[in-house]
Structure 1
Amino acid sequence: MIKIEKSRWRRPALCCALLLMAIVIAMIVTPYDPYHVDVSNKLQKPSSLHWFGTDHLGRDVLTRLVYGAPFTLLFPFLVLVISAIIGSLFGLVSSYVGGKVDSAMTAVMDAFSSIPNLLLAIAITGLLGPGLLNTLLATSISWWVQYARIVRSVGITIRREPYMLAAQLSGSFGGKLIYRHLLPNTKPLVRELFFLDMGAVILLMSSLSFLGLGAQPPLAEWGSMMFDGKSYLQIAPWITLIPAAAITIFVMLFYLIGRGLQSRE
C-alpha cells in the first residue's frame, strides 16, 4: 500500500524530469535559431525538416518551444519560491504573535484574498508595464497570501499543543521557537501546495503573455507563442495548439505530483 502511494508522485515526477531532460537535449542538438526570421519558409506544416512546423515568420516551432521552456517553467517556479517565503514568514509571525497584530495581518490577507489572482496580476502589470519580470512581480504579489493563510492556520493549531508550552518553559521564544517547532510542521503543507500551485501559476503567467502583458516579442515563451498564432488558427493551428499542449502536459504533471504528495502524507 505504501509503495502504491509513493508511486503516485514518483511517476509524474519521473515523467516531468524526462521531459525536462529532453528539452535540454533538444536545445543542444536543434539546428535552428529560435529567433531567425525566414519569411520564405513561413507557415510550413509539420514535416521531417520541421517536426512541429513553422510560424508566421518562418521560425521553427519546436526550437522556439524548447527555448521557451525556461521562461515558461522557471519563472513560475521563482514566483512560488518568493510567494512561499513571504507568505510563510507572514503566516508564522501572525500565528505566533497573535492579538491585535494577528488581527491586522489577517485583515491584510483578507484584502488580498478578496481580489482574484488574475485580476490583481493584470492590474499590477498594467501599472508596471508589460514584460516578463513585471509579470513575475505582479504574480508574486497576488499569490503569497495563500501560503500566509495556510501557515497561519497550522501555526495557530500548533500553538495549543502541550509540547509548545514545554518548549516555552524550557526557554524557547521568538525566532528560536518559530524555527524549531512552528516552521518544521508547516513544511509538508507548503511543499504540497507548491506543486499544486505550480500548474496554476504556469497557466496564469501564460495567460498574461497571451493577453500581451507578459513576455514580449520576439521572446520564445509558450503563452506569447500562442498569442503569435491566434491570428493563424484556421490555416496554421499548430502554432497555437503545440505550446498549448505543452502547457497542459506540465500543468497536469505538477498537479499529479502535488496530489501524490498529499496522499503520501
Structure 2
Amino acid sequence: MQHLSIQPNPVPNPNEATTNTENVSKTTRLWTESFLRIIKSKTSFIGLCIIFILIITAILAPFIATHSPTEQTIVNRYQAPSAEHWLGTDELGRDIFSRIVYGTRISIQIGVISVGISMIIGVFLGAVSGYFGRWIDQVIMRVIDIVMAFPSILLAIALVAVLGPSLRNAMIAVGIVGIPQFARIVRSAVLSVKETEFVEAAHAIGARHGRVLMQHVLPNCLAPIIVQATLSIGTAILDAAGLSFLGLGAQPPRPEWGAMLSDGRAALQNAPWVATFPGLAIFFVVLGFNMFGDGLRDALDPRLKE
C-alpha cells in the first residue's frame, strides 16, 4: 500500500508582495506627478497643444486639405489668400494651405526618424563609454569631440553631398549630426548612476555587465534621454528644412516646408505669402517642441520639485 504525501502549498511572503506593490505604486505616482507638473506649466502645456495639433493635422491631412498638394494650375499662380485658397497659391498655382497640411507628415517623419538614429547610436556609445571607462571612454569621446568640432549644418551638408540629395539621405545626415548630444548626455548620466549602491550590489551578486547596464543603469537614465529626444525633434525639423531650402533635402514635388521656403524666395516682394506661411509653420512647430521639452525637463528633474 502506497502512502500519499501531501506537500503543503508554499505560503506567500506578505512582505515581498507588499514591496512589489509599493514599488509599482511609487513609480505610478512619480509619473502622475510629472504629468501634472507638465499640465500646470503654461509653457509646456502650450507646447503640448502645438504638438497635438501637428499630429492630428498629419493624421487627418486628406480631410483637412482643401486641394491636392501637387495639383498645378498655372492660371491660378500667385493668387493672394482668398476664400478658395486660404493661404494663396505658389508659382505653379498649387494651394499653399494644402501643401502645408501635407507637409506636417514629412516633418513628423523627419523628426522621428532622425532623432531615432541619433538616439539609438548616441545612447549606445554614451552608455558604453560611461560604463566601461578607461581607453574605451577615451576613444569614443575623442571621436565625439571631432564630430562636434564641425558646425552641425555644415557637417549635414557634407554628408548629403556625399550620399546624394534626397529626403532619406537628409534624415540620415541630420541623425548622424545629432549623435554627439545623446552620447554626452547618456555618458554623464551613466557615470553618475553606476556609482550608486544598487549597481554595486548587482555587481556583488555576480551580475554580468550587459545585464547591469540594461536593467539597472539605463532605466535610471531615461529622464535626460526623453528630454533630449523631445528637444532634438524640433532641431531635426529645422535642420532638414535648411537642407531642403538649399535643394539637398526633399525634392519636388514633395510639399516640404523648407523646399516651399526656397520656392518662395523669388516672389518675396510680389507674393510674400508663398514663403511667409511655410516659415510660420516651421517656427510654430519648432517652438512647440522646444517649449514642451523645457517643461518636460522641469517635470522630470527631481531637484526642481517643490
Question: What is the TM-score normalised by the length of structure 2?
Answer: 0.82
Partner of 1:83: 118
| Mapping 1:40-119, distance limit 5 Å | 40-119=75-154
Instruction: Evaluate the alpha carbon distance shift between residue 106 and residue 29 of structure 1 in structure 2; reply closer, same or farther with a 3 A threshold.
Output: closer
Question: What is the one-letter code of the residue matched to 1:148?
Answer: A
2:281 corresponding residue in structure 1: 246
Q: 1:222 aligns with which of 257, 275, 281?
A: 257
User: Within the alignment, does 1:173 sit opposite 2:208 as a pair?
Assistant: yes
AA aligned opposite 1:93? V
Q: What whole-Å deviation, never above 9, does each CA across 1:109-131 have from its counterpart, x for those lacking one?
A: 11111112111001111111111
Distance, in Å, in 1 between the alignment partners of 2:64 and 2:45 is 28
What is the match of residue 159 of structure 2?
Answer: 124
8 Å CA contact retained: 1:229, 1:239: yes
CA distance in 2, matches of 1:105, 1:262: 27
- The answer to whether the 8 A contact 2:57-2:104 is kept is no
CA offset at residue 146 of structure 1?
0.8
Residue 142 (str. 1) matches residue 177 (str. 2): yes
Shift in Å at residue 11 of structure 1?
Answer: 4.1
1:52-98 Cα distance to aligned partner (Å, 9 max, x none): 00000000001111111111222122100111111001111111221
How high is the sequence identity, in percent, across the aligned residues? 36
In structure 2, the CA distance between the partners of 1:106 and 1:198, relative to structure 1 (3 Å rule), is same
Paired position in structure 1 for 2:11 = none
- Select the structure with the greater relative contact order (CA < 8 A; seq sep ≥ 6): 1
Q: Which moved more, 1:74-83 or 1:52-61?
A: 74-83
Distance of 1:222 and 1:127 partners within structure 2: 23
| 1:6/1:260 contact within 8 Å kept | no
Distance across 1 between alignment mates of 2:193 and 2:66: 56
SS in 2 for 1:37: coil
Q: Distance in 2 between matches of 1:70 and 1:25?
A: 10
Counterparts of residues 149-168 of structure 1 (less than 5 Å): 149-168=184-203
Alpha carbons 2:64, 2:101 under 8 Å: kept: no
Partner of 2:40: 7
Q: CA separation in 1, counterparts of 2:218 and 2:46? A: 29
The size of the alignment, in residue pairs, is 265
| 1:34 paired residue among 54, 57, 69 | 69
Q: In structure 1, what is the Cα distance between the partners aligned to 2:217 and 2:263?
A: 47
TM-score by length of 1: 0.95
Shift of 1:183: 0.7
Q: Deviations over 1:233-259 (max 9, x none)?
A: 111111101010011001111011101
Query: Partners in 2 of 1:219 and 1:101 — Cα distance?
Result: 43
Q: Which residue identity does 2:175 align to in structure 1?
A: S
Aligned-partner Cα distance in 2 for 1:234–1:169: 71
- Which runs of 5 or more structure 1 residues have no equivalent in the other structure? none
Judge conservation of contact 2:57–2:64 (CA < 8 Å) in 1.
Answer: no
Task: Output one character per residue of 1:148-203: Cα deviation in whole Å (capped at 9) or x when no partner.
Answer: 11111111122222222111001222210011111112111010011112211111
Question: Which residue matches 1:206?
Answer: 241
Q: For residue 5 of structure 1, report the CA deviation from its aligned partner.
A: 4.8
Distance 2:294 2:49 in 1: 15
Match of 1:16 in 2: 51
CA RMSD of aligned residues (A): 1.7
| Cα displacement (A) at 1:23 | 4.6
Distance 1:19 1:152, change over 3 A: closer
Which has the higher Rg, Structure 1 or Structure 2? 2
Distance across 2 between alignment mates of 1:29 and 1:10: 24
